[in-house]
A and B are shown apart, each in its own frame.
Chain A
Amino acid sequence: MGETAHEIALTVNGVVRRTRVPGRRLLSDCLRHDLGLTGTHVGCEHGVCGCCTVLMDGEPVRSCLMFAVTADGHEITTVEGLADGARMSPVQRAFAECHGLQCGFCTPGFLCTVTALLRENPAPTAEEVLEGVSGNLCRCTGYQNIVKAVHRAAEIMAEERVEEA
């Protein structure tokens, strides 16, 4: 009630989006409620579960541990922005192929985290994959297939690089 609204502009999945938010609006809620991008899921709202992970300027961050006003002027990529048009991204295809999801609640966070992980480290070791996804929780206990999917995504990306070259 009577809270000051702040004008912000975020570049979300390549499109500039302007909205007005109170200072306390979490980035996760801004994406979901103000911008209608409900692909970003909200689990614990204190940084433990990793469901709300999005990319800010290319780096994975918890959108529940950030105020939308702080993200003003930055580039955000959500799960909706990972695909190339109708074609799923290599990470998305690998998750589908390896059955890396059951209920799908944690999946947007995993996809964003893994997309950044493989961008930084295209051929991670088994241990690096475990470390990389250790901040994301899956309550369907689907970790084995998620880990397989990360390795498969790395393979797909390597194959595509060869094809392009």
Chain B
Amino acid sequence: MKPPPFGYHAPRTLGEALDVLAGTGEHGKVLAGGQSLIPLMNMRLAAPAHLVDINRLGGLAAVETGPDGVRVGALARHAQVERSAGAAAVQPLLRQALRLVAHPVIRNRGTAVGSLVHADPAAELPAVLALLGGSVRLARRGGTRDVAAGEFFTGPLESALRPGELAVSAFFPALPARSGTAFREVSRRHGDYALAGVAALVRLDGDLRVAEARAACVSAGPVPVVVDVTAACGAAPAGAADWEAAARAVRERIEPEDDIHATAHYRRHLTGVLAAQALREAARAAVEDAAGNAGNAGNAGNAGNTAGRAMGHGAGDAAENTAGRAMGRGAGDVVGRDGGTAGQEGAHG
């Protein structure tokens, strides 16, 4: 099908874009990658009266990395962030998650910030921002505000973005010391929206015991659901933490729904399985991270042994993980929504 008519605006500067958005108000929508918005328009599920195409605002395409984290500009494509070695070094969860977003060709156009503003609870990046406690920077004519992830996602496809505002960047905080991350999901076909998915972060203390463990779940409620499982898994050494208890805590917290792809019951079960896998993998990465840092400090012997033990403990997981991936890979039939996963945005929530 074809998209309905709209007024097309192609501002050359950020100021011009904000002026247009101020003028169009709730009738204006921002077009960046368009990989979610244009399918919606082609299917006549969205019919914005005005589109403000920000693709000429090259200044918004930057991916800036610093010790505190990664700031991703509104025009940075998924593929660009995925390839950024600097971003991966500062916050590895970004690349881990982006590899699961739709297909490579979609990732060439879709934008990370657009995906956040689209606020699809089945999408990966909102879960990443929520897990890390990141924020989105919203500009309007005459001002800018930063909205924390916890307040940004307000419902399915709804965000705190107001009419007249443009999400100019998002900030993903850096990985803390002695920490690791992982992202696990299962989808019917490679590149589809996930039936269930979990992003995990584990931080260890100086004795390599779990100091903090959190999981963010996709397709598990109206917004990304972040569950702090630190208490559930116990302050045990990374290799001996009770990840199954953590998985139970996750299952209790989420509110998945039935749809044609899966029942709520199955989603709840699957989310628990993926949470245990992702947390275990994040803990392993945290042990390696601690070993690496200790090595730099001249303590490689001890920490290396600890890393070896923790790695060995996880030997059984490899098969489990492969099975998880295989489940996500079904070759299968055609009908799917994968076109939508990637980026773009909405001017009103």
Measured CB to CB, the closest approach of chain A to B226, in angstroms, equals 29
**Interface with B: A43-51, A75-83, A87-95, A157-165, which one?**
A43-51
Question: Which residues of A lie under 8 Å from residue B266 when comparing CB positions?
Answer: none
Question: Which residues of A lie under 8 Å from residue B108 when comparing CB positions?
Answer: 59-61
Contact across chains for A48 and B338 when beta carbons are under 8 A apart: yes
Question: Which residues of A lie under 8 Å from residue B41 when comparing CB positions?
Answer: 24
Contact across chains for B43 and A46 when beta carbons are under 8 A apart: yes
B34 at the interface (CB under 8 A from A): yes
Contact across chains for A135 and B338 when beta carbons are under 8 A apart: yes
**Interface with B: A11-19, A64-72, A97-105, A148-156, which one?**
A64-72
Residue of A nearest to B4 (CB): A24
Question: Which residues of B lie under 8 Å from residue A6 when comparing CB positions?
Answer: 8
Find B334's partner among A24, A47, A113, A139 (CB 8 Å cutoff): A139
A10 at the interface (CB under 8 A from B): no
Per-position binary interface string of chain B over residues 40-61, scored 1 when its CB falls under 8 Å from any chain A CB and 0 otherwise = 0111000000010101000000
Contact across chains for B103 and A135 when beta carbons are under 8 A apart: yes
Report the Cα distance A26→B142, complex, angstroms. 34
Known A-B contacts A62-B106, A62-B109, A135-B103; the reply to A23 vs B8 at CB < 8 A is: yes
Question: Which residues of B lie under 8 Å from residue A47 when comparing CB positions?
Answer: 35, 38-39, 106, 338-340
B267 at the interface (CB under 8 A from A): no
The number of residues on chain B lying at the interface, defined by a beta carbon within 8 Å of a beta carbon of chain A, is: 37
Known A-B contacts A22-B5, A47-B339, A131-B190; the reply to A67 vs B103 at CB < 8 A is: no
Per-position binary interface string of chain B over residues 310-349, scored 1 when its CB falls under 8 Å from any chain A CB and 0 otherwise = 0000000000000000000001001011111000000000
Per-position binary interface string of chain A over residues 23-48, scored 1 when its CB falls under 8 Å from any chain B CB and 0 otherwise = 11010010000000000000011111
B15 at the interface (CB under 8 A from A): no
Question: Which residues of A lie under 8 Å from residue B35 when comparing CB positions?
Answer: 47, 62, 65
Find A49's partner among B34, B51, B334 (CB 8 Å cutoff): B334
Contact across chains for B8 and A26 when beta carbons are under 8 A apart: no
Report the Cα distance A6→B3, complex, angstroms. 16
Residue of B nearest to A137 (CB): B334
Chain A contact residues, CB within 8 Å of chain B: 3-4, 6, 22-24, 26, 29, 44-50, 53, 59-62, 64-67, 69-70, 113, 131-132, 134-135, 137, 139, 143
B191 at the interface (CB under 8 A from A): yes
Contact across chains for A132 and B53 when beta carbons are under 8 A apart: no
Measured CB to CB, the closest approach of chain A to B224, in angstroms, equals 23
B2 at the interface (CB under 8 A from A): yes
B10 at the interface (CB under 8 A from A): yes
Question: Which residues of B lie under 8 Å from residue A69 when comparing CB positions?
Answer: 8, 10, 53
Measured CB to CB, the closest approach of chain A to B155, in angstroms, equals 23
7 contacts between A and B (CB under 8 A): A47-B106, A59-B108, A65-B38, A66-B109, A67-B38, A135-B102, A139-B334
Question: Which residues of A lie under 8 Å from residue B55 when comparing CB positions?
Answer: 70
Find B39's partner among A24, A46, A70, A135 (CB 8 Å cutoff): A46
Contact across chains for B31 and A70 when beta carbons are under 8 A apart: yes
Report the Cα distance A62→B106, complex, angstroms. 7
Report the Cα distance A61→B77, complex, angstroms. 12
Per-position binary interface string of chain B over residues 99-126, scored 1 when its CB falls under 8 Å from any chain A CB and 0 otherwise = 0001111101100000000000000000
Report the Cα distance A97→B53, complex, angstroms. 43
Q: Which of B173-192 contact A (CB under 8 A)?
A: 190-191
Report the Cα distance A12→B4, complex, angstroms. 26
Report the Cα distance A98→B107, complex, angstroms. 29
Measured CB to CB, the closest approach of chain A to B78, in angstroms, equals 12
Question: Which residues of A lie under 8 Å from residue B109 when comparing CB positions?
Answer: 61-62, 65-66
B1 at the interface (CB under 8 A from A): yes
Find A3's partner among B5, B51, B102 (CB 8 Å cutoff): B5
Question: Which residues of A lie under 8 Å from residue B298 when comparing CB positions?
Answer: none
Report the Cα distance A53→B339, complex, angstroms. 13
Contact across chains for A50 and B5 when beta carbons are under 8 A apart: no
Contact across chains for A65 and B39 when beta carbons are under 8 A apart: yes
Report the Cα distance A46→B220, complex, angstroms. 25
Report the Cα distance A47→B102, complex, angstroms. 10
Report the Cα distance A33→B105, complex, angstroms. 23
Question: Which residues of B lie under 8 Å from residue A29 when comparing CB positions?
Answer: 2
* A-B CB proximity, top 7 nearest: A47-B339, A135-B103, A23-B8, A46-B39, A65-B38, A24-B3, A46-B339
